[in-house]
């Protein structure tokens, strides 16, 4: 879709897209077997185009959640049927929302990309339907104040505050530099996604006594690294905080190293630096980079309670059956976890199929951390500016510790490895 290089990978439409046909066929068969009156759920996703590999992973996770709930009897005996619209850019959203509204769906899931999710959330809720975010993290998705908008996963503010807390608690004490002497410099993609995360990281660091030395904001459509490198050369930071998308993040890391620059800590805040594409493309050039992210399939399973662990294993087995992958990726787990909460925990408690009933059931939900297959819990905020945001969403920090190999290093309950600060000094 048109827009800046996204935090979603840009690869040709591949295996997941093909396998979606099989998943949808299975879902339709399940619906047909369950009876003539399915519970219809709308969906808006960019299922074709440059973001298709990751967006279809997220959608596949949501679809598998529906399949599993249907196998368990559906919603009060009604199988879930997903009514999806393939939307590539913002201009297509009004027609998609109007179509779903005409179809009578009370709730819409989506939309993977913050560039789509922000207007989709506004349009869906304005039409009187519940909007249920399955992946995008920009704060404005749930920051528009609608009581009909919900997000199970982390927002940009949580990723940012997670980054700040990690640096203050784990990295700064190891650096041997007084907090008030640290030089911290931000490099930020100039869009909602980048600013959501960077702003929260800055707030967390300043609250901890760190003074920010400066910031370079760049255009993620057409980044110009020369002035950024000049500013970094002059600032000589100890910590570099990067809030980027994947492709511009890769380009920045290359330009940073080509300029001969070095820092004690290179901290990515926007999930992009954890993505396998970041590590696979950069290889040894990624080693040492830290990044704040949502959990994917290889975090410490002890973070899950027994029921959530069993649910994860069931989902992972189905994911492997569909894709051949040993473990679900970040997008798949995000889509599954968000959809599972809606399908298994909310719809059956709504009392009816109205948007108001679904929203009320969501607001009443109270699930402890560790009860979802991604390690999170659920409690939706009613604080202005955060209405509908899950305040028990899961977030972790990774570090690339060898070429194409990363480990979770924080929080301890999720960790599969230890911080290696010396690797980040580049």
Q: What global pTM score does this model have?
A: 0.87
Using the predicted structure, report yes or no on whether residue 276 has a pLDDT greater than 90. no
Categorize the per-residue pLDDT at 295 as very low, low, confident or very high, splitting at 50, 70 and 90.
confident
Quote the pLDDT of residue 301. 86
Q: Please give the pLDDT value at position 412.
A: 93
In the prediction, which pLDDT does 36 show?
Answer: 52
CA distance 118 to 97: 13
Among 23-32, 71-80, 84-93, 347-356, the least confident range: 23-32
Number of helices (H) and strands (E) in the chain: give both, helices first. 13, 12
**With bands split at pLDDT 50, 70 and 90, how would you rate the model's confidence at 426?**
low
Please list the helix, strand and coil fractions of the chain in percent, rounded to the nearest 5, in that order.
Answer: 45, 15, 35
Name the pLDDT band for 186 (thresholds 50, 70, 90): very high
153-166 as b/e, with b when 16 or more CB fall inside 10 Å? bbbbbbbbbbbbbb
Q: How far apart are CA 314 and CA 419, in angstroms?
A: 31
* Structure confidence at residue 425 (pLDDT): 65
Q: Are 48 and 56 in contact (CB under 8 A)?
A: no
Q: Which two tokens stand for residue 399?
A: 């570090």
Q: What is the average per-residue pLDDT within 209-231?
A: 97
- Give φ, ψ of 297 to 5 degrees: -75, -5
For the domain 157-293+396-424, what is the CATH superfamily, name and number? Response regulator (3.40.50.2300)
Q: d(Cα 203, Cα 49) in Å, to the nearest integer?
A: 36
Residue 299 is predicted with a pLDDT of 81
How far is the CA of 199 from the CAs of 112, 187, 243, 309, in angstroms? 22, 11, 10, 34
Question: Model confidence over 143-185: pLDDT tens digits?
Answer: 999 999 999 999 999 999 999 999 999 999 999 999 999 999 9
Bigger pLDDT: 349 vs 51: 349
What is the pLDDT, as a whole number, of residue 407?
93
What's the CA gap between 172 and 204, in Å, rounded?
13
pLDDT at 78: 95
What count of other Cβ atoms lies within 10 Å of the Cβ of residue 230? 12
Topology match between the domains 15-154+301-363 and 157-293+396-424: yes
The ranges assigned to domains in the chain are: 15-154+301-363, 157-293+396-424
Q: Which fold has domain 15-154+301-363?
A: Rossmann fold (3.40.50)
Tens digit of pLDDT for each residue in 354-383?
999 999 999 999 999 999 999 999 999 999
pLDDT in tens, 96-107: 999 999 999 999
Q: pLDDT-based confidence at 31, cuts 50/70/90?
A: very low
Closest CA to 64 of 425, 361, 334, 276: 334
């Amino acid at each position: 879709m048109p827009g800046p290089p996204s935090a979603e990978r840009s690869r040709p439409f591949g295996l997941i897209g093909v396998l979606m046909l099989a998943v949808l066929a299975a879902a339709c068969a399940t619906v047909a077997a369950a009876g003539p009156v399915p519970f219809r759920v709308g969906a808006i996703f960019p299922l074709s185009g440059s973001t298709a590999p990751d967006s279809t992973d997220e959608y596949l996770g949501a679809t598998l959640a529906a399949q599993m709930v249907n196998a368990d009897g559906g919603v009060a005996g009604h199988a879930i049927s997903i009514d999806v619209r393939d939307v590539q850019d913002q201009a297509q959203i009004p027609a998609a929302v109007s179509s779903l509204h005409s179809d009578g769906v009370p709730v819409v899931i989506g939309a993977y990309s913050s560039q789509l999710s922000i207007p989709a959330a506004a349009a869906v809720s304005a039409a009187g339907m519940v909007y249920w975010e399955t992946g995008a993290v920009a704060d404005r998705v749930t920051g528009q104040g609608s009581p009909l908008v919900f997000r199970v996963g982390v927002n940009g503010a949580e990723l940012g505050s997670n980054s700040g807390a990690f640096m203050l608690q784990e990295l700064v004490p190891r650096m041997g530099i007084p907090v008030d002497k640290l030089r911290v410099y931000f490099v930020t993609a100039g869009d909602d996604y980048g600013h959501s995360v960077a702003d929260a990281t800055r707030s967390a660091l300043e609250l901890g006594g760190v003074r920010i030395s400066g910031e370079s904001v760049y255009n993620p459509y057409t980044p110009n690294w020369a002035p950024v490198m000049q500013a970094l050369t002059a600032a000589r930071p100890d910590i570099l905080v990067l809030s980027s998308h994947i492709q511009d993040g890769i380009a920045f890391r290359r330009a940073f190293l080509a300029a001969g620059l070095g820092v004690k800590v290179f901290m990515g805040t926007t999930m992009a630096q954890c993505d396998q594409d970041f590590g696979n493309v950069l290889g040894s050039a990624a080693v040492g980079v830290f990044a704040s992210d949502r959990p994917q399939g290889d975090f410490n399973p002890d973070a899950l309670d027994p029921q959530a662990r069993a649910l994860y294993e069931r989902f992972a087995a189905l994911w492997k059956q569909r894709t051949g992958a040993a473990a679900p990726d970040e997008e798949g787990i995000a889509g599954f976890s968000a959809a599972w909460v809606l399908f298994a925990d909310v719809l059956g408690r709504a009392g009816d199929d109205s948007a108001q009933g679904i929203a009320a059931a969501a607001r009443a939900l109270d699930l402890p951390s560790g009860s979802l297959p991604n390690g999170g819990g659920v409690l939706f905020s009613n604080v202005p500016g955060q209405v509908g945001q899950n305040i028990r969403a899961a977030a972790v920090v990774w570090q690339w510790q060898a070429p194409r190999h990363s480990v979770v290093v924080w929080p301890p309950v999720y960790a599969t490895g230890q911080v290696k600060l010396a690797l980040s000094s580049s």
